[in-house]
Structure 1
Amino acid sequence: MKKVVLPLLMLCLAPAALKAQEEAAPISNEFNKWSIDAAFGTNKAANPMSEGYHMHVTNLFHADLGFRYMFNTKFGLKLHGGYDVLNDDGDGSLEFKSTIISIGLQGYANLGRIMEFETWTKRLNVLGHLGVGVSQFTNDEREGDTAFEGEDHLGNFIIGLTGQFRISDRVSLNADFTMINNFSQHKMWDGGEYDHTYQGFDSTLYNATIGLSVYLGKHDKHADWFVEEKPNELIELEDRLAELETMMNDSDKDGVPDYLDSEPNTITGVAVDSKGRSIDKNGNNVPDELESYIENNNKQMEQKIQQVGAGVEQLINDGYVNVYFDFNKDQPNAQSVNGINFLIKYLKENPSKSADVIGYADEVGDTAYNQELSERRATNVKQILVDAGIDAGRLNIVGNGAQSVGNDSKAVRQTVRRVTFILK
């Protein structure tokens, strides 16, 4: 029933949800879109370098300036220019000084909004960027040889990641790492002649910078930090759907949702009516479906009593009558019907007797959780007995937690996931 009713309810509510979302959709000017991004830091040119020339890993100097426009809170474009100075490390390297002037266009993805950072932070954000550009490379000084005359023009493929810290609604602090792969390069970074040996990217330049984003516009927040708030109507609608899902739960798996179920703890596998009640036409508090099963097993039970040489009470107290559970479940499985109803029959025939209802779990999982699970199992079995007409005051719940069996066999663990009884 749940599988049919719940989808129908959601289908009926869907138009209202879509309407609420449309009415609440942010208009384009609810957040600022423009920013000026400026940064300063270090660079490191990877190969090609002539023999005898090398740089520090953190070489000064790099600077860039860009103008970024966000189409929405997740994606945008940036036009930027950069300036790099490449120097020898002064520690065993031949002297050189090269400069690079670049311009590029990059697409930006606001990863913080895409991954919903706002659920755990209002100050931190991450931007990813990817694009292309061109640069002009010149060499001003070169020891051991003359600097090359003219300019080398390079094509660039740019990829990077920017971490942001929001200082205010108008300014954020940025830490960026960018990798620039170059093609059509004809000179070494130190200015020497470059003999191409392969096709494709000829060199790589790395930039690590610290900078600021200054946000422009009349609104309170920029797209980097703007988070759309759900309207009250949509929140209320989501709450209603959550309530409906809860109402449609079926704890005892009898096909009747809890909110319609008069007996939400019926034994799994027993036939019920439209209100979730076990069918009991003769009114003896034992489901009709089980009566014939119990009668057919009485002879087997009597034979077992004779074999162990004990009375019914000792049979129960010695653990021959058990209620079993599937892994991590707190409702009895279908194989436990005989044990439950044998105890019901005994307690009704012996109204002066009371019983400890003792729950166990296997060793799999946390100790505290297994203790709580064993108590839930005992509680649910007690409720079944009460629903069958046994006075609750005659039943005492005991949770014994996990029981060690010294064997990792699945079949052996099944035997300890149970509820047993001690008659008094």
Structure 2
Amino acid sequence: MKKCLILVLLLGVSTSLYAQKEFNQWSLELNGGFNKSMGPLSPDFYSPTLHIGHADFAARYMFNEYFGLKGDLGLGVFNETKGKSPEFTTNYIRVNAQMVMNTGRMMNFENISRRIGLLTHFGAGFGRLSFENTVFDQPSDYVYNIISGITGQYKISNRVSLTGDITYIHNGRQTYTFDGNSYNAPVQPNPPANPFIHAPGGWWTGALGLNFYLGKNEQHADWFIAADKYATKEELSTQINGIKDLLKDSDGDGVADYLDKEPNTPAGAHVSFNGVTLDSDGDGTVDHLDKCPFLPGPSANGGCPLEQVIDQTDYLKKAIQDGYVAAYFAFDSSTPSSFSINSISYVSNFLKKNPGVKLEVKGFADEIGPENYNIKLSEKRAKAVYEILVSSGVDSSRLSYKGYGEDTSVDKSSADARQMARRASFEIK
């Protein structure tokens, strides 16, 4: 017995000793319950299905939340079915090294309950069967075994969990039957002599037990969830406040501060998608102060040219080409951003002042999502701008709209570039 206990300790110590970080890695396990020798048994020998006579002890080390190793010692006794079988008593002891998998974590049991877990384990080892009522002179049989099982867990506290385990053990090179009164061979030698067949044998155990978790951290690897370190109310509140700060629009131009490249825009100013005051005709007079925002002229003349210019189309084309006049959209949205209404209003005013001009609204999307979906989304965006222009008083016969899908001209690795791709542009016909 002492040698077996020493071996269990050596199996535990021989595992890789990684530094504990955010969770405890060691646990001790104590189980007791039923066993059943499936076979082989001598003719007319039977063992009860639920026989109380098993106990096991283990030390387990988890490398992470998913995998670990354990060394365990199992011992117990097999007996006959009373009134149906001749008497026999077979004591057993086994020592095993096993791989452990936190199957409950792999299957996301935490989404159902934080107190229910599931472990699976498998490994190999050695055992001894000792017979008290054998007809042979040999009182013991030494075997190797392969073991596998499943363990349900219920978390009582951070230090203790209740377990229920079902394990199957497959013996190899078993010389005698489990009752110890026959050779493990299809034909019994006469006179009796060891046939050296060494056939296999099988048995199972069902046990209830406790896991005791060791270590200075709050959680053991069985129950640790990495995301929990972000789940405190204080940290969540801090993150929410940070998002609120990002969404502030201090100058009221419709562009959030974190996107606004001109954070102190004067009240009433017309701005681009990144919050910069627009000067569509590039004459040095910003649009909201420019009486002719699409025609360059001196500030002394209100931004209008000193000589009357009949055709203003070229200036609008340039403003569209330079990105000053476009409607922008949020991700997966077909509603223009608030700051884009200024651009749509400019186009509406231009068309009203130039009744001979026709225009197409061209919708675009970023590269995220399937191609067919992006085509439909870009068309919705174009149609939304088209409808705003019509509702503003522009004759629908002068307008058309079309969705062009993904805008391939932008840098896909840039979030800002993708924002520029979510737009509706204009083309003068």
TM-score, normalised to structure 2, is 0.50
Structure of larger gyration radius? 2
Does residue 1:34 correspond to 2:26, yes or no? Answer: yes
More helix by percentage: 1
Does residue 1:184 correspond to 2:173, yes or no? Answer: yes
Task: Name the amino acid aligned to 1:122.
Answer: R
Task: Name the amino acid aligned to 1:159.
Answer: S
Q: Distance in 2 between matches of 1:285 and 1:110?
A: 73
Q: Which of 216, 221, 227 in structure 1 is aligned with 2:219?
A: 221
Q: What is the Cα deviation at residue 105 of structure 1?
A: 0.9
Give the corresponding residue for 2:36: 44
For 1:74-89, what aligned pairs fall within 5 Å after superposition? 74-89=66-81
Q: Which of 207, 226, 246 in structure 1 is aligned with 2:205?
A: 207
Give the corresponding residue for 2:140: 151
Q: What is the Cα deviation at residue 88 of structure 1?
A: 1.2
SS at 2:70 equivalent: strand
Change (3 A) 1:256 1:213: farther
Change (3 A) 1:333 1:287: farther
Give the corresponding residue for 2:12: none
Change (3 A) 1:286 1:175: farther
Q: Distance in 1 between matches of 2:144 and 2:344?
A: 74
SS at 1:122 equivalent: coil
Give the corresponding residue for 1:195: 185
For 1:309-388, what aligned pairs fall within 5 Å after superposition? 386-387=387-388
State how many pairs are aligned: 265
Q: Distance in 1 between matches of 2:373 and 2:71?
A: 58
Q: Distance in 2 between matches of 1:260 and 1:46?
A: 63
For 1:25-424, what aligned pairs fall within 5 Å after superposition? 28-141=20-133, 146-147=135-136, 149-191=138-180, 192-195=182-185, 202-228=200-226, 229-231=228-230, 258-259=329-330, 264=335, 288=359, 386-387=387-388, 389-390=390-391
Q: Distance in 2 between matches of 1:256 and 1:56?
A: 80
Question: What percent of counterpart residues are identical?
Answer: 30
Q: Distance in 2 between matches of 1:128 and 1:201?
A: 27
Q: What is the Cα deviation at residue 217 of structure 1?
A: 2.3
Q: What is the Cα deviation at residue 137 of structure 1?
A: 0.7
Task: Name the amino acid aligned to 1:223.
Answer: A
Q: What is the Cα deviation at residue 188 of structure 1?
A: 0.8
Q: Residue 175 of structure 2 contacts residue 197 of structure 2 at CA under 8 Å; is this kept in 1? A: no
Report Cα offsets for 1:157-181 as digits up to 9, x if no partner. Answer: 1111111111111111000011111
Task: Name the amino acid aligned to 1:166.
Answer: K
Q: What is the Cα deviation at residue 47 of structure 1?
A: 2.1
Change (3 A) 1:172 1:276: farther
Q: What is the Cα deviation at residue 62 of structure 1?
A: 0.7
Change (3 A) 1:285 1:33: farther
Q: Distance in 1 between matches of 2:378 and 2:197?
A: 69
Change (3 A) 1:276 1:75: farther
Change (3 A) 1:163 1:256: farther
Q: Distance in 1 between matches of 2:154 and 2:44?
A: 41
Q: Distance in 2 between matches of 1:92 and 1:333?
A: 81
Q: What is the Cα deviation at residue 382 of structure 1?
A: 11
Q: Residue 344 of structure 2 contacts residue 389 of structure 2 at CA under 8 Å; is this kept in 1? A: no
Q: What is the Cα deviation at residue 63 of structure 1?
A: 0.6
Task: Name the amino acid aligned to 1:82.
Answer: G
Q: What is the Cα deviation at residue 200 of structure 1?
A: 9.4
Q: Distance in 1 between matches of 2:328 and 2:220?
A: 47
Q: Distance in 2 between matches of 1:170 and 1:260?
A: 46
Q: Residue 262 of structure 1 contacts residue 276 of structure 1 at CA under 8 Å; is this kept in 2? A: no
Q: What is the Cα deviation at residue 71 of structure 1?
A: 2.3
SS at 1:112 equivalent: helix
> More deviation in 197-206 or 84-93?
197-206
> More deviation in 41-50 or 214-223?
214-223
Report Cα offsets for 1:297-343 as digits up to 9, x if no partner. Answer: xxxxxxxxxxxxxxxxxxxxxxxxxxxxxx999x7999xxxxxxxxx
Task: Name the amino acid aligned to 2:44.
Answer: G
> More deviation in 196-205 or 35-44?
196-205
Q: Residue 184 of structure 2 contacts residue 197 of structure 2 at CA under 8 Å; is this kept in 1? A: no
Q: Residue 170 of structure 2 contacts residue 201 of structure 2 at CA under 8 Å; is this kept in 1? A: yes
Q: What is the Cα deviation at residue 214 of structure 1?
A: 1.3
Q: What is the Cα deviation at residue 219 of structure 1?
A: 2.5
Q: Residue 285 of structure 1 contacts residue 389 of structure 1 at CA under 8 Å; is this kept in 2? A: no
Q: What's the RMSD between the two structures over aligned residues?
A: 4.8
Task: Name the amino acid aligned to 1:108.
Answer: V
Q: Distance in 2 between matches of 1:391 and 1:195?
A: 97
Q: What is the Cα deviation at residue 68 of structure 1?
A: 1.3
TM-score, normalised to structure 1, is 0.51
